[in-house]
Amino acid sequence: MTTLTGKTALVTGSVQGIGLAIAEALAEAGARIAVHGIADEAQIAEVCAGLQAKGAPEARFFEGDLRDPDQIDALMAAVSEWGGPDILVNNAGIQHTAPLAEMPRETWDAILSVNLSAAFHTMQAALPGMADRGFGRVINIASVHGLVASKDKAPYVAAKFGLVGLSRVAALEYAARGSKASGGVTVNCICPGWTETAIIGPQVEARAAQFGGDRDKGIADLLSEKQPSQRTSDPSEIGALALWLCNPVAHNVTGTAIPVDGGWSAQ
């Protein structure tokens, strides 16, 4: 079992979905969790208490609008003062589907800011400290859409392809930092396919409407187009993979984009 006692993890977008599942997996391994996301005080308190119940010695909320580089700088400075991050998970993301010709300019800007530029800013702040300590893990939650394209998702696909490329550059720049004994510094992407999260809700609802509102049929129809396994992933499965990547045994796993997509990108 991976032990992360004494480590601090910042997981962006960790108040729900994949981000929360990753935070829970890291908490169970003993990491302190810097929680981030869009939530009210009650939800924040519930998430932090839940992470401590899972095993985190401490869980604290840090705010910051990822569309604003100055707020990201403040976020990273606050987490640094708290003693981290040893582990950075860039999970926060937004999505909007529309044909390229109809995609609002402001939507393009927002999706690129949150899904790509924010990761650049957080990595730029976190990686030097990881290198100095000889241990660090950056896990960027990309998407199957960082490996293959789909219609009506121009900004999302552009951002996720960019995130994979950014991660590979960072992996090369930091590959020799640290050692096998210290665990090294690695940068990887996880690329989920259809996963049971809120971000796919609008697409599921639109497809379910074609079947009289039957959600199960809507999901099955979506899966039949793309995901050969015909099964969605659960966020906890992404959490388990993220935890494994934090293990010192994964010191030579860097610069990868690991699909969890039921064979989607193998086609």
- Where would I find the H helices in 83-117? 105-112
| Among 227, 224, 201, CA closest to 97 | 201
Residue positions annotated with a catalytic role: 156
Q: Which of 152, 222, 195 is nearest to 17 (CA)?
A: 195
Pick the CATH number of 8-193+233-260 from 3.40.50.720, 1.10.10.10, 3.40.718.10, 3.40.47.40: 3.40.50.720
Element (H, E) at 137: strand 135-141
31 closest CA partner among 167, 177, 127, 137: 137
Task: State both tokens at 257.
Answer: 């984009």
One digit per residue, the tens of pLDDT, for the chain of length 267 reads 579 999 999 999 999 999 999 999 999 999 999 999 999 999 999 999 999 999 999 999 999 999 999 999 999 999 999 999 999 999 999 999 999 999 999 999 999 999 999 999 999 999 999 999 999 999 999 999 999 999 999 999 999 999 999 999 999 999 999 999 999 999 999 999 999 887 777 878 888 899 999 988 888 888 888 999 999 999 999 999 999 999 999 999 999 999 999 999 999
Q: How many other C-beta atoms are found inside a 10 Å radius of the C-beta of residue 192?
A: 25
Backbone angles phi, psi at 15, to 5 degrees: -95, -5
The residue type found at 94 is: I
Which pLDDT score, from 0 to 100, does residue 1 have? 59
The structure tokens listed for 204 are 């599921």
State the pLDDT at residue 153. 97
Contact 198, 13 (CB under 8 A): no
H helical segments located in 55-185: 69-82, 105-112, 118-133, 154-174
What single DSSP character describes residue 100?
G
Could you tell me the strand order of the sheet in which 184-192 lies?
59-61, 32-35, 8-11, 87-90, 135-141, 184-192, 257-260
- Site of tokens 């582990």: 87
pTM to 2 decimal places: 0.94
